[in-house]
Amino acid sequence: MDERAEERHRMVAEQIASRGIENAAVLDAMREVPRHLFVPGAEQRWAYDDGPLPIGHNQTISQPYIVALMTELARPAPTDRALEIGTGTGYQTAILARLVSHVYSIEIVEELSRQAAARLEALGIRNVTLRVGDGHAGWPEEAPFDIVLSAAAPEHVPPSLVEQLAPGGRLVIPAGPSHAQELLLMEKGENGGVSSRVVTAVRFVPLLHRR
Q: Kindly write down the DSSP assignment for every residue of 51-81, as one continuous string.
A: S-EEEETTEEEPPHHHHHHHHHHT---TT-E
**Adjacent-strand bridge partners of 182:** 175, 201
Site for ligand SAH in 67-126 (CB under 6 A): 85-86, 88-89, 91-92, 106-109, 112
Q: Pick the closer one to ligand SAH by CB: 80 or 107.
A: 107
135 binds ligand SAH (CB under 6 A): yes
Q: Pick the closer one to ligand SAH by CB: 69 or 151.
A: 151
Number of chain residues interacting with ligand SAH (CB under 6 A):
23
134 binds ligand SAH (CB under 6 A): yes
DSSP letter assigned to residue 203: -
Exposure class string for 119-142: b at 16+ Cβ within 10 A, else e: bbeebebeebebeeebbbebbeee
174 binds ligand SAH (CB under 6 A): no
CB atoms within 10 A of CB 45: 11
Stretch that binds ligand SAH, among 9-17, 60-68, 118-126, 167-175 (CB under 6 A): 60-68
Q: Pick the closer one to ligand SAH by CB: 133 or 168.
A: 133
Annotated catalytic residue 160: no
- From candidates 59, 63, 71, 181, binder to ligand SAH by CB under 6 A: 59
Q: Pick the closer one to ligand SAH by CB: 76 or 135.
A: 135
DSSP letter assigned to residue 121: H
Stretch that binds ligand SAH, among 56-64, 123-131, 163-171, 175-183 (CB under 6 A): 56-64
Helices (H), the chain: 5-11, 24-32, 64-73, 91-97, 110-122, 159-163
| Closest C-alpha among 100, 80, 74 to residue 170 | 74
Query: Which active-site residues does the annotation give?
Result: 62
Give the interface with ligand SAH as residue ranges (CB under 6 A).
59-62, 85-86, 88-89, 91-92, 106-109, 112, 134-136, 151-152, 205, 207-208
